[in-house]
Every structure is written in structure tokens, then in C-alpha cells.
């Protein structure tokens, strides 16, 4: 197979889109972010990379707290809106209904099935991006999406995905069990 070398590019996709939240001037503000990811499971730690000019960053810098909210695909319009309009120019505090957990400066979105609040433990710059590393304080999931003794149902959560082709997607079907299907490898050979 011949490979096309596209040079120094971040072609990592698709990934979930999140609404990155903070409180600025006593109001919640949400920005759409694809640059988000897990740093460690224990302690539960994630990062968000957001351009230094963004309004949401003001609240994160000030309070050292933020939220990460996972929208379902039915929130695609609102989610895209928060990614094309800045809080510097428009009040986005009413786009979603907000509630708070333990941290009163990490606004959580009622309409999103998964909400995470974080405390900043480290921040640094990569080019013009401010990278915030957050220790997860609380994680809320809509009760009907969590089976009694299991993990949240990803298909029901229906996370909004984004890709480098500038389109939104939804997840497809489950294809195999992780930490398990690999055992088939030797049988296949």
C-alpha cells in the first residue's frame, strides 16, 4: 500500500466534542472544544486545550476550575453555536440550563447527559493554546443511562463526534469487547 505523507498535521479523529465551561463575571460561559482528553484514570485527570483569547479561559484562570460537558447528537446546533460565537461578544449563559455540583465555579449543563467538574492542577502554553490539566472532582451522568452496576451506556449517551473534515458524526455499533478480543490473535495466525 502506497502512503501519502501529509507532513506535520494532527490527523487524530474522530473525537468527542465537549462544552468547556467556566464562570466569567458571575455567569456561566461555554465554548466548544475538541482538544480534550484523558491524562490518567487514577487519579482521574483530563486536559483541555483552549486558545488564550477565549472568553471561557478568563474564568478558568481566575477560579482554577472548569467543567467538561458531553452533548448528545441532538444538541449539535447549540454545540456548534458555542463554537462560533464568543462570550466576549455575546452572552451564552442561556444557551443551556446550568446547575452546579460541589464546585460553584464549574457550571454543569442539564441537557448534556455527562457532566464533569475539574480543579486545575497545572496549566501551560503550547503555541497560542492554553492547556489546562484538571483533576476530576465530580462526574454526573443521567441516571437512566447508567445500568445498576455497570458503566454508562455509550450508545444511549449518543456523544457528538467531530472530525478533521469539519463534520459532526455519531458513533456506530459496538464491534468487540476490549481487553478480550485480542486473545483471538494467536488462533487467527
Ligand X SMILES: Cc1cc2nc3c(=O)[nH]c(=O)nc-3n(C[C@H](O)[C@H](O)[C@H](O)COP(=O)(O)O)c2cc1C
Query: Given the rule CB under 6 A, which of 50-58, 67-75, 113-121, 174-182 is the region that contacts ligand X?
Result: 50-58
Residue 1, CA distances (Å) to 4, 6, 9, 54, 59 in order: 10, 16, 21, 42, 49
* Least distance CB 157 / ligand X (angstroms): 18
Residue 171, CA distances (Å) to 5, 10, 129, 153, 163 in order: 28, 21, 28, 12, 12
Residues 54-83 that bind ligand X (CB under 6 A): 54-56, 80, 83
- Number of residues this chain uses to bind ligand X (CB under 6 A): 21
* Least distance CB 79 / ligand X (angstroms): 8
Distance CA 42, CA 44 (A): 5
Cell numbers at 65, concatenated? 476550575
Under DSSP, the state recorded for 12 is -
Query: Given the rule CB under 6 A, which of 1-9, 31-39, 153-161, 169-177 is the region that contacts ligand X?
Result: 31-39
Residue 136 main-chain phi, psi, to 5 deg:
-70, 125
* Least distance CB 168 / ligand X (angstroms): 7
**Strands of 15-16's sheet in order across:** 15-16, 161-162, 168-169
Query: Given the rule CB under 6 A, which of 44-52, 64-72, 112-120, 146-154 is the region that contacts ligand X?
Result: 44-52
Single residue of 87, 107, 113, 134 touching ligand X by CB under 6 A: 87
Which one, 32 or 69, has the nearer CB to ligand X? Answer: 32
| Nearest residue to 106 (alpha-carbon basis) of 149, 69, 52 | 69
117 scored as a contact of ligand X (CB under 6 A)? no
86 scored as a contact of ligand X (CB under 6 A)? yes
Distance CA 116, CA 71 (A): 12
95 scored as a contact of ligand X (CB under 6 A)? no
* Least distance CB 27 / ligand X (angstroms): 11
Give 137's contacts (C-beta < 8 A, 6+ positions apart). Answer: 101, 102, 103, 106, 117, 118, 119
85 scored as a contact of ligand X (CB under 6 A)? yes
Residue ranges that bind ligand X, judged by CB under 6 A: 17, 29, 31-35, 49-51, 54-56, 80, 83-88, 162
Amino acid at each position: 500500500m502506497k502512503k501519502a505523507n501529509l507532513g506535520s498535521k494532527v490527523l487524530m479523529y474522530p473525537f468527542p466534542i465537549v462544552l468547556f465551561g467556566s464562570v466569567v463575571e458571575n455567569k456561566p460561559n461555554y465554548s466548544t472544544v475538541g482538544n480534550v482528553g484523558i491524562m490518567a484514570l487514577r487519579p482521574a485527570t483530563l486536559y483541555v486545550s483552549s486558545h488564550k483569547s477565549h472568553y471561557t479561559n478568563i474564568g478558568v484562570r481566575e477560579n482554577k476550575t472548569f467543567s467538561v460537558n458531553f452533548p448528545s447528537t441532538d444538541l449539535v446546533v447549540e454545540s456548534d453555536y458555542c463554537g462560533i460565537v464568543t462570550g466576549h461578544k455575546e452572552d451564552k449563559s442561556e444557551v443551556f440550563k446550568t446547575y452546579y455540583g460541589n464546585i460553584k465555579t464549574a457550571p454543569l449543563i442539564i441537557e448534556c447527559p455527562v457532566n464533569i467538574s475539574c480543579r486545575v492542577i497545572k496549566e501551560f502554553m503550547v503555541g497560542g493554546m492554553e492547556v489546562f490539566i484538571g483533576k476530576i472532582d465530580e462526574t454526573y451522568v443521567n441516571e437512566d443511562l447508567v445500568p445498576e452496576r455497570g458503566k454508562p451506556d455509550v450508545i444511549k449517551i449518543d456523544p457528538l463526534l467531530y472530525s478533521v473534515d469539519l463534520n459532526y458524526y455519531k458513533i456506530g455499533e459496538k464491534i468487540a469487547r476490549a481487553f478480550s478480543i485480542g486473545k483471538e490473535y494467536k488462533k487467527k495466525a
